[in-house]
Amino acid sequence: MPNPPRLTWPPNLAHPTRARDLARPSSGWGLPRLIRVVVVAVYLNLLWLAACLPLVTAPAATAALVTSVRDWTTRDAEPGARSYLTHVWAHRRTATGVGLILALAAALAATDLLVIGLMDGVQRRAFLVAWLAVVACGFVAAVFALPVAALERAGVRHSLRTSARLAFAAPARALTMAGTLLLAAAMVSVTRAALLVVPVAVAFAATRCHAAATGALPHPTR
């Protein structure tokens, strides 16, 4: 029986097993392979956390994580600090622009909620229902904005417009992505240790949902 693959740091996925095979349940999941996937996921999450420390770089760091996970699972590309930072630099403009717009929208929604809280009686309930409906629709429509910026290397306007189009063309995928984000936020709120695994899982879900939603479009997005 051949010896199990030896783990290295940072992990080298080019040998003896391929990263694409690691993401395929059909290829067989032995203990060494499972450990290897967990090690790579934790490594990428640590890179993401470090890149998010300045806060302003968080959108570019997130887009780079999505791109790194896509390359790992579909292109057999070895994830590492150099390649990850290269993706961060490549996404610095578009992802930051998208993130800024989303942050401003979230701040506006929070301000509206504070104003609604000052209302009384039936008026407050009516405005609260309307606020919830608008926020829910906006959240679902924007759920693909960063994945589009990361995977399609498009501009800010194209990323936001395409995100809304994908949500309209494939509402089930958009809802799945939105639910994944909410579940991830809940897990992180329960235990901060989830930050060592959850971001890569969300990035993987983003790549899969984006691919499926893009296939549902009636014509190319660009």
| Burial degree of 203 (CB within 10 A; 0-12, 13-18, 19+) | buried
pLDDT tens sequence across 125-183: 999 999 999 999 999 999 999 999 999 888 999 999 999 999 999 999 999 999 999 99
Question: pTM here?
Answer: 0.81
H helices present in the chain, as ranges: 19-22, 31-52, 58-74, 81-90, 94-117, 121-141, 145-151, 156-169, 171-190, 198-216
pLDDT per residue over 26-63, tens digit each? Answer: 445 677 878 888 888 899 999 999 999 999 999 999 99
Distance CA 165, CA 174 (A): 10
HSE-up of 19 (CA within 13 Å, CB side)? 22
Find tokens 């479009």 and name the residue: 217
Closest CA to 69 of 203, 208, 173: 203
67-115: pLDDT as tens digits: 999 998 887 676 889 999 999 999 999 999 999 999 999 999 999 999 9
pLDDT at 12 over 80: no
d(C-alpha 62, C-alpha 69), whole Å: 11
> Cα–Cα distance between 201 and 169 in angstroms, integer?
24
